[in-house]
Amino acid sequence: MIEIEVEHNTDKKTLVFAKLKNTWLSESRRSAGSSTGFFIAGEIRKYIESAGTGSWEKPHPMTALFERRGGKWERRKGFISPYYGLAKFARYIINRSATVIRMGFGTFKAKDPAKGKTVSFNKPLQEIAEQAQKQRTIVVTDRMKRLLGATRSKPGQTPGVDFFPLRRETSQITVPPRPISIPVFAKIKGASFPLFADKFKKALEKRYEKE
């Protein structure tokens, strides 16, 4: 969540001008908030698609080459980054007074908040994003070992290249954290507030020209 107060991010002259008409302030604030939210969502998407701009730990070869489909392990057609598919669902929501921008993941159209539509983040996607940013430990069962070893379905395939059976002594797998929120917000913090102020001023000027 990022909170932007117009009074703290707009010069006094523009703020006085905005209050000349009641609707100007709220409409301009929503317009600027939408532009800012759209910008941040884009940065989140780029960060995930680039695997944290290369800072994330690389996935296990098994994860990189195979995925679970319909109860079977099948070779991936392409793989770029862990959680790559999550990136396109990066979204923003603005509160009614357009003073708070919340960032998250959802299935609604990216432009819906700008149109004033009531939307909400998708709970399963939110949970995936939360899990991605935490270190997790997966307990390995004998069934899992048999399943992963069974990916060798054709003669001539090489262990560690075409299939990845787990060792007999392996009892757990540690999934490393892949942070999103903290590094992205640290990156955009210096640009988001000036962007909001600039968009707010331009939106205000447009409303004045229409009068």
What ranges do the domains of the chain cover?
2-134+178-210, 136-175
Give the separation between CA 179 and CA 57, rounded to whole angstroms. Answer: 11
Give the separation between CA 25 and CA 125, rounded to whole angstroms. Answer: 34
Give the separation between CA 74 and CA 69, rounded to whole angstroms. Answer: 7
Mean pLDDT of 118-126: 93
pLDDT tens, position by position, 64-94: 656 666 666 666 666 557 788 899 999 999 8
Residue length of the chain: 211
- 3 state SS for 135-150: CEEEECCHHHHHHHHC
Q: With cut-offs at 50, 70 and 90, classify the pLDDT of residue 60.
A: low
Predicted pLDDT at 162: 60
Between 204 and 127, the higher pLDDT residue: 127
The neighbouring-strand residues paired with 139 are 172
The pTM (predicted TM-score) of the whole model is: 0.75
Instruction: Say yes or no to pLDDT of 165 above 60.
Output: yes
Nearest alpha-carbon partner for 24 in 45, 6, 49: 6
Alpha helices by DSSP H, listed for the chain, are 6-9, 12-18, 22-49, 61-65, 123-132, 142-149, 181-210
pLDDT tens, position by position, 32-50: 889 999 999 999 999 999 9
Between 106 and 63, the higher pLDDT residue: 106
Angle between helices 181-210 and 22-49 (to 10 degrees): 150
Q: With cut-offs at 50, 70 and 90, classify the pLDDT of residue 144.
A: confident
